[in-house]
Structure 1
Amino acid sequence: MRMTRVALVAPEDTLDAVLAEVGLAGVVELEPVDHGAGDPDAVGIARMKAAALRRHGAAAYLGWCPEPARGPLADRLAPLGGALAALRPPPGAEPPTLLARAGRVGRSFAPIVETYGAVPYADVDPTLLAGMAYVVMFGMMFGDAGHGLVLVLVAVVLARRPPSRYPRLRDAWPFVAGAGLAATVFGVLYGEFFGPTGLLPALWLQPLAEPVRLLVAAVGLGGAFLAAAYVVGIVNRWREGSAGLALYAPSGIAGAAVFAGLCLLAAGVFAASIPLVAVAVAVAAAGLAIAAAGLYAAAAEGAAVAQTVVQLFDLVVRICANLVSFARLAAFGLTHAALGALVWAGTAGLWQRGGTWTVAAVTVFVLGNAVTFGLEAVVAGVQALRLEYYELFSRVFEGTGRPFRPWRCDPAPKEVLR
């Protein structure tokens, strides 16, 4: 959301009423009050009054306000003698970030980004893209139609009757539903329904029967995610600085060219195509040359060459390592399939004995799937988050921003009248 640098000015004799109105609105981040790590709501009117800049019978504050909220608040302050004027921000000042996330899906995916850090003010909000990537990666590792449908059922419960102690969990139901649907889709592709029960035919592959094919698909999917992350990173570098930053940054065009060259090189070697290998080498070399120019310009004097060489080597190694890291999508998908197969083999073996062993078979099936569900849900959830933060967000963000922390205060009657 667009932020505006503002000055809040009020006469001393109506300052209490003006501050009460601003505190109730809760749309202005005021300075010079330092909230530190505390809650802005803990700053009362008395402390806010003491922090005012005073001159000639007037009190003033500097701050930030979302542009859509400035006009309506200024109209409310005018009858009290107060004003909320727009200012030109000082050079180099970074406004705080307030993300305009509309809808339940945006709010549900928001914790993925917020846990990592605040999005810089100039950057693109990656919440929706990050959420979609997360559920796809989770589904590939948690591929079982039965387990996925259980997650969808959990999402329905959260939407209709969230736990009374944790009402905010209701906002999480689209996230849980998305993860469950992705797991269900991959389960159908794998032919897994509470394990290899045979109730579903494999529309794509059986993980334990074709692990290499699954591994190649996982790395290919990771390459697509990295390419998307580079696109967002280029846009962010452009918005953060200039066309030069977008060109030279390792997370910009230069890094994207190296990544594209390495991917083309792998494809050329696999296809035994000399022309494709030649193109790949040219693209990668161009990317390295552009990156080297940017790294050399930013390096410390006296060791610029050595620093540039080391950083270029790190760039290539990091790209290869990040791409290979997506093999974990296949590895944990295989783990899930192996656990499901183990539970089903035990269930089938006991069931064939008949008699009282039938009860034992049902017990093994239920408890085994419960353990597999709980264990693999945690593992897949953590691993998908790790891929988001280390492989993808490292290209999307160069740093983190500062969240918008408006001052809110519900004044007591004596505070307004004082």
Structure 2
Amino acid sequence: MIVKMKFLSISGPKNDIDRVCEVYLSKYEMQLENAAAELKTTDNLQPFVEVNPYKEPLAKAEQFSALLADEDQRIDVSMNQEDMLNLIRDVNHDYLDLVEKKELTKKQVDEYKEKLLIMEPFRTLELDMQKSLKYKYMKVRFGRVDVNYYKRLEKYLFDDLNAVFIEGTRNENYVYGCYFVSNADSSKVDSVFNSLHFERIAIPSEYIGTPEQACEELEKAIEEKQKEIAEIEKQIRELMAKNAAKLRGAKRRLEELSTNFDVRKLAARIEEGDNKEDYYILCGWMGEEDVKKFLAESKNDDKVFVVVEEDKEKFFGEPPTKLKNPRFFKPFEMFIRMYGLPANDEIDPTMFVALTYTFIFGAMFGDVGQGLCLFVFGGLLYLIKKINLAGIISIAGLFSTFFGFMFGSIFGFEDVIQAHWLRPVDAMTNLPFIGQLNTVFVVAIAFGMGLNILVMIFNVINAVKSHDLENMLFSHNGIAGLVFYGFLVLTIVLYMTGHKVPGNILMVIFLGVPVLLFVFKEPLGNLVTKQHKKMEEGKVMFFVQAFFELFETMLSYFSNTISYVRIGAFAVSHAAMMEVVLMLSGASAGHTNWIVFVLGNVLVCGLEGLVVGIQVLRLEYYEMFSRFYKGTGREFKPFHSQSDRK
């Protein structure tokens, strides 16, 4: 059902707004509206322009809390506001120092790794790095050359060059090494190597010994620096662990303070002259029961002034919608939210959907064994994970179990338990004019007719609540439509059961009069609402449009009713599919292959359960909701959620 909402205005001294938020608004669900925009008739309203001082400390507290070990869940909420801010500041100071040291060390590691990357290809060279780079009469060039060019170098040029090339390492693309050349021939040799795309690599002159020794020194330096980084990370963990309980407490408290302070975004303030104290104003929607409790709690608080506005929706739009249903029906609110929440002048269809959805699902998927599986697994998933769809599946499984007993089906076997009603595949009914028809089809259509009449009654109730006389009296889903369709259903039932049908006069009254009301719905609606509108289109155009609308109305009655045949169709198809599973597993022949049997049941339960669930939802949305439900409400969004209450 829909919780009745009241519009409140709360005011008091400007410097008392935080206390009001913490003491009162944190206990009651209230959807705050923008006071400056809503209270347009109040003079001297100004927005709050203060910056939230808790945002930065809260961000730090969240950052530090993320570094804490998951197994340590201690919380210390004994600190006052000043102590919390000092704690965050001190921890942040120490943390930033450690992070700076860590970053500098990581930068040194990166530099060492870059140097090692340069030296690694020359590791196998047997030469003294420092001496070779300082030869007086000879030059040494380190670098790499493409493998293909190196083959050409070996084949054609080494014998003609006054140079010596020493190979280091090679991979599939390059050969790394160095060549020695005298000063006199360096220009010529350099030109030849450059023409063969020899890429020179600059080697720092700081290394002493061979490339192997240089690489070992770099690796040792990297290892030492990584140990320093590990030690710094350990110090960070110890710093956080030492203050873990206080940091978690500070985070929780700062979240509350920050949220309370953000109320100012929707509040307004009134500036008083002559050095008088300024005031704040908060306004918004609250449930009727919460309003009573709030007024009772705050009546002795001389700094809080509460005004409950009456008929505020006339000036500031419709109240938000807050649903409150018993726990059994709570998961089905998901379907309502998917379609659209009800407005305050509509019926909450949650219970209706819960009962019809599960009942129809059970009729289309009647099997004791599979129904119990859905009930157990869906229920466990709902209890553990709180998934609404799992709760719906669990409840639908109960109805599947019930219809399984009615149909005498358990995991597809129809000879284990007795059918308490009928077997969907075998039950047939003789009808006048039509002949033999499957009984479940007949029952499904009759059930659909009953649902159509019920949702028309819901539409009339909604029209009464919203004071929509035209829709209530003359709509094809209103009283006129209810009379027409109800009498038509009565006539069909009497004819099919062999009873005397109503006479011509009754036919004219209960079928003809509603049709005229459908045709003249608009002018009659204007008449009862005393809105004397001139017919903009001509009379011919009016009757042409009325004819097609009437044709669409009659077609919708027929299609809506026939749509319920799918209930019987799926009941029959489920039994037929399980016969196939039993045949493939050999169960019908007496030698059951249990692996095939189990896999077949899982496949049918999964795929057919999914299809049936979608088809039932289609019936809810298109055949039922389209006749009485608009779903134009806006969701109630309290500033403090229910889960955050103290």
Structure 1 residue aligned with 2:509: 282
The superposition leaves residues 195-235 of structure 1 with CA deviations (integer Å, 9 ceiling, x where unpaired) of 13410233332222236222111111111122221222211
Q: Secondary structure at the match of 1:62?
A: strand
**C-alpha distance in 1 between matches for 2:267 and 2:492:** 63
Residue 273 of structure 1: CA displacement? 6.1
**C-alpha distance in 1 between matches for 2:408 and 2:292:** 58
Structure 1 residue aligned with 2:536: 301
TM-score normalised per structure 2: 0.56
Residue number among 333, 349, 360 corresponding to 1:126 in the alignment: 349
Matched, 1:364 2:596: yes
Once the two structures are superposed, the pairs formed by residues 2-401 of structure 1 within 5 Å of their partners are: 2-32=4-34, 44-55=259-270, 56=272, 57-77=278-298, 79=301, 81-88=303-310, 89-91=312-314, 93-102=317-326, 104-158=327-381, 162-163=383-384, 166=385, 168-169=386-387, 173=391, 175-210=392-427, 212-267=438-493, 269-270=495-496, 275-276=501-502, 278=504, 279-280=506-507, 282-296=509-523, 297=525, 301-302=536-537, 303-348=541-586, 352=590, 361-401=593-633
Q: Secondary structure at the match of 1:91?
A: helix
Residue 369 of structure 1: CA displacement? 0.9
Residue 306 of structure 1: CA displacement? 3.5
**C-alpha distance in 1 between matches for 2:265 and 2:397:** 53
Q: Secondary structure at the match of 1:201?
A: coil
**C-alpha distance in 1 between matches for 2:265 and 2:328:** 42
> How many matched pairs?
391
Residue number among 377, 394, 408 corresponding to 2:640 in the alignment: 408
The superposition leaves residues 316-339 of structure 1 with CA deviations (integer Å, 9 ceiling, x where unpaired) of 111110110001111111221111
Q: Which runs of 5+ in 1 are unaligned?
A: 35-40, 411-418
Tell me which amino acid in the other structure corresponds to 1:27: E
**C-alpha distance in 2 between matches for 1:385 and 1:169:** 18
Query: Structure 1 residues 30, 148: CA separation in 2 closer, same or farther (over 3 Å shift)?
Result: same
User: Is the contact between residue 342 and residue 348 of structure 2 (CA under 8 Å) also seen in structure 1?
Assistant: yes
Query: Structure 1 residues 351, 320: CA separation in 2 closer, same or farther (over 3 Å shift)?
Result: closer
Structure 2 residue aligned with 1:413: none
The structure with the largest helix share of the pair is 1
Residue 132 of structure 1: CA displacement? 0.7
Q: Secondary structure at the match of 2:360?
A: helix
Query: Structure 1 residues 377, 90: CA separation in 2 closer, same or farther (over 3 Å shift)?
Result: closer
Q: Secondary structure at the match of 1:64?
A: strand
User: Is the contact between residue 260 and residue 280 of structure 1 (CA under 8 Å) also seen in structure 2?
Assistant: no
Query: Structure 1 residues 48, 306: CA separation in 2 closer, same or farther (over 3 Å shift)?
Result: farther
Tell me which amino acid in the other structure corresponds to 2:307: A
**C-alpha distance in 1 between matches for 2:616 and 2:439:** 20
**C-alpha distance in 2 between matches for 1:377 and 1:171:** 13
User: Is the contact between residue 257 and residue 287 of structure 1 (CA under 8 Å) also seen in structure 2?
Assistant: yes
User: Is the contact between residue 264 and residue 276 of structure 1 (CA under 8 Å) also seen in structure 2?
Assistant: no
User: Is the contact between residue 10 and residue 82 of structure 1 (CA under 8 Å) also seen in structure 2?
Assistant: yes
User: Is the contact between residue 22 and residue 408 of structure 1 (CA under 8 Å) also seen in structure 2?
Assistant: no
RMSD over aligned CA atoms reads 3.0
Q: Which runs of 5+ in 2 are unaligned?
A: 37-255, 273-277, 428-436, 527-532
**C-alpha distance in 2 between matches for 1:134 and 1:350:** 33
**C-alpha distance in 2 between matches for 1:6 and 1:16:** 18
**C-alpha distance in 1 between matches for 2:363 and 2:501:** 34
**C-alpha distance in 2 between matches for 1:151 and 1:124:** 30
- Which one scores higher on RCO, CA 8 angstroms, separation ≥ 6? 1
Query: Structure 1 residues 348, 221: CA separation in 2 closer, same or farther (over 3 Å shift)?
Result: same
Query: Structure 1 residues 350, 199: CA separation in 2 closer, same or farther (over 3 Å shift)?
Result: closer
**C-alpha distance in 1 between matches for 2:388 and 2:560:** 34
Tell me which amino acid in the other structure corresponds to 2:308: A
User: Is the contact between residue 106 and residue 128 of structure 1 (CA under 8 Å) also seen in structure 2?
Assistant: yes
Query: Structure 1 residues 12, 305: CA separation in 2 closer, same or farther (over 3 Å shift)?
Result: farther
Q: Secondary structure at the match of 2:324?
A: coil
**C-alpha distance in 2 between matches for 1:253 and 1:80:** 54
**C-alpha distance in 2 between matches for 1:108 and 1:51:** 32
Query: Structure 1 residues 260, 409: CA separation in 2 closer, same or farther (over 3 Å shift)?
Result: closer
**C-alpha distance in 1 between matches for 2:9 and 2:366:** 55
The superposition leaves residues 372-409 of structure 1 with CA deviations (integer Å, 9 ceiling, x where unpaired) of 11111111111111101111111231342122112128
